Structure 1
Amino acid sequence: MKVCHITTAHPALDARIFYNECQSLSANGYDVALIAPGERDFEKSGVKVLTIKRSKRGLISRIVMPCRALRLALREKAAIYHFHDPDFIFAALFMKLLRKKVIYDVHEHYVEVIPARKGRKSGGLFSAILRFALETVPSKAFDMLVFPTQSLSEEYEKAKNKTVIMNLFRLDSLEEHESESSASKKYDVIHLGTVSQMRMKFMLDVVSELSSLRKDFSWVFVGLSTETIDWVNSNNAGKSFQRHLILMEKVEHMKALELVRSSSVGFNYHPFEKRFQVAIPMKIFEYMAYGLAVVSTALPELSLLLTDQKDSILVKSQNAEDYAAAINDLLDNPDRMGRISVEARQTIYERLNWEKSEEPKLLHSYSKILGGS
């Protein structure tokens, strides 16, 4: 049975799209094609990756990329089309006119995310239009909507068929490292992922506060845009805490996990805004799987899954000093950090991993759409 995943914004080897969903489907007998931005076609883990050339950002890209992806997708003649970006909604509606089975994987709370990225407050006519186009229409049009958290799914009250499939860690991602000797800890703290200037400014405040508590530590940021790196360097030149920073652009998923493995503390920060209240950052589970002690904002969904002071440190404030103090306490107490590390890995192995918890939901959803039980 052929299925086709489509993304116009994410990289082909995205953790959720490729390593979790596409790999699982391929391993369970599906013929899987993935359409994603890139320069060349390739095959990996039984998944055929068909690439579409990136367009320049902006309105033209939001029109051209979905059209290119739609053309490639229809050639696949798949039984199910599974797309991952709101830019593709109108192309997916065309698929429905052709009587195709279509799944929409809703990664974020876009009605809140899009205004924030444009520097606008949510609410008013703009948000009403977004809600209609990005929530009401997809809820009624597509065969299934997939969400990474329960609270995000509840925002789509009118969805006729929906399921929650969390972004958990694949245990088999550890296999290629398990045979290696214990990794040396090159970095004291790591943060994975792209960040806005606002969040980066707060995290630099945490670094600055930590530098007032201890002289020697290293903090690596992985996945920053070149613009963010330039902004950090130009706005913090000469500041003493900058000597602790290692700033890296985005790297391939498995390389990012190697960097995680070489770190001691995994960090995550989100402001208490609605768009983040319905999210769970996948990086948290990646940190835990590799035995890092996690210091994170106590996001509501995360607090339901983890136990503060046992398998993680969940900070309930928005003060940089509190995050710095939590990190410093771990670095000053290797035994405590080790206990949290052991509990973190146990949580991942026993409860919060993709294979045991989420893969069955994905397979059941596909079977349901195809007419199975």
Structure 2
Amino acid sequence: MKVVISRLNLYTMVVIPIFMLFLNNSRVDKTQVDKLDKKAQEIREGKAKLRICHITTAHPCFDIRIFYKECKALADAGYEVYLVARHDKEEVVDGVHIIPLPKVRNRVERMFFLVNKAFEIALKLNADVYHFHDPEFIPKALKLKRLGKRVIYDAHEDVPRQIMSKPYLKGFSREIFSKVFEIYENYAARKFDVVITATPYIRDRFLKLNPNTVDVNNYPLLDEFTSVCDWDKRNNDICYIGGISKGRGIIELIKALEFVDTTLHLAGGFESRELEEEVKKLDGWKKVRYYGFVDRAKVRDILCSVKVGIITLHPEPNHIMALPNKMFEYMAAGLAIVVSNFPLWEEIINKSGCGLSVNPLDPEAIAQKIRYLLENDELARKMGEHGRKWIFENYSWGKESEKLKEVYKNFNSFIEVLA
């Protein structure tokens, strides 16, 4: 039954949206020209701000990239920022107006009901720019374009390659779904005003389709790590913080604990209840301290209490060229790190001198690397210092936020020209 539902999820994301392209009228709403002209005059006279609406139906409201980085950066820059996302109430947090979406029971309900609800709310907000974060919203984003709106697609993942890693798709069906979605996404990307990507690798793919493509990388919020706990006050422990799934290496990591004397501080949500039950039955689980979902303050507390950060994702197509936010946060917090032996990740740790790479599919090899760092305390401390120094010199959200604000400055200038 679970496999059937998962395939239905993919069907709703790939097949139905493509069919809808042929049903919708592509004419632009002529009244939008008059609205833009009026808004342009108000902006010019200082009577109005550019109204921005961020939309997510798949991510949590306080997602690190969406809320803490992008929405807050734009609100701090003086824009009128709204976030349509799953939440329990309407409120303003750090200058961001949160418009709540209701809870849903499953992904199919999310892709049908929640996407439609988000679109209805977005239209009522009558924003100047719509910035959406989930591929399941693409059909509605195209509809916004047909209504004369300006739309930004924020591509967090390389979805066609992500589909190739879905465990419930076997053999040739993966290739079919991946190719069909890529054709559809490529079509849509050409229509949007701007495509923002989370990595240079994804940027290069979309640049071939839309010249208005820019990478806004998921580098850490360094303000959270201006000071960290002294090394000698930390526990001889390790941590993993983030989404918990088989593809992100949770099975191998827990099995690795059987071969090393330490405690794993684990924070994040399990991909499914079945996976959580499976993991908790493993012998290594007794060495785990599990926190569930945590806020940013708790993330910092965990990172400042351990010595080694783990990110051993499986070698799946969507992981190999990824730049995980957690890797950079580990480094900013002064941790030595153990990462999957992907060429891009090995290049980062070799340049920075911050840790070790390992085969993520081998629990004993993972344990060996962890044990080596914990038993060589001075080496691990120096690795943490090197990584922290390298991050502060090279990878900070401050630089990336300037890219984001430049995109919106261009929108602002365009609207002012209309006046």
Question: TM-score, structure 1 length as denominator?
Answer: 0.89
Identity over aligned pairs, percent: 27
230, 234, 238: which is aligned to 2:277? Answer: 230
Shift of residue 299 of structure 1?
Answer: 3.1
Q: For each residue in 1:7-63, what CA deviation from the matched residue of structure 2 results, as whole angstroms up to 9, or x when unmatched?
A: 101111111111111111111111111111011122221111111002221323201
Larger radius of gyration: 2
SS in 1 for 2:265: strand
Change (3 A) 1:300 1:179: closer
Residue 152 of structure 1 pairs with residue 214 of structure 2? no
Change (3 A) 1:302 1:85: same
| Partner residue in 1 for 2:222 | 171
| Partner residue in 1 for 2:409 | 367
Q: For the residues of structure 1 that align with 2:66 and 2:236, how far apart are their CA atoms?
A: 28
| Partner residue in 1 for 2:90 | 41
Q: How does 1:105-124 map to 2 (within 5 A)?
A: 105-117=154-166, 119-120=168-169, 121=171, 123-124=174-175
Change (3 A) 1:42 1:317: closer
Q: Which runs of 5+ in 1 are unaligned?
A: none
Shift of residue 196 of structure 1?
Answer: 2.0
What amino acid does structure 2 have at the position aligned with 1:19? Answer: Y
Change (3 A) 1:191 1:162: same
| Partner residue in 2 for 1:26 | 75
Q: For the residues of structure 2 that align with 1:183 and 1:104, how far apart are their CA atoms?
A: 45
What amino acid does structure 1 have at the position aligned with 2:277? Answer: D
Number of residue pairs matched? Answer: 360
SS in 1 for 2:78: coil
193, 208, 218: which is aligned to 2:263? Answer: 218
151, 169, 179: which is aligned to 1:128? Answer: 179
What amino acid does structure 2 have at the position aligned with 1:201? Answer: I
Aligned partners of 1:168 and 1:358 also within 8 Å: yes
Q: For each residue in 1:83-127, what CA deviation from the matched residue of structure 2 results, as whole angstroms up to 9, or x when unmatched?
A: 100111111111001111110111112112235335214654322
- Aligned-residue CA RMSD in angstroms? 2.4
Residue 197 of structure 1 pairs with residue 197 of structure 2? no
Q: For each residue in 1:226-263, what CA deviation from the matched residue of structure 2 results, as whole angstroms up to 9, or x when unmatched?
A: 623322123x2xx3x33312233222233222222222
SS in 1 for 2:379: helix
SS in 2 for 1:155: helix
SS in 2 for 1:71: helix
What amino acid does structure 2 have at the position aligned with 1:144? Answer: V
Q: For each residue in 1:336-369, what CA deviation from the matched residue of structure 2 results, as whole angstroms up to 9, or x when unmatched?
A: 11111111111121111101x2111111122233
Question: TM-score, structure 2 length as denominator?
Answer: 0.80
SS in 1 for 2:58: coil
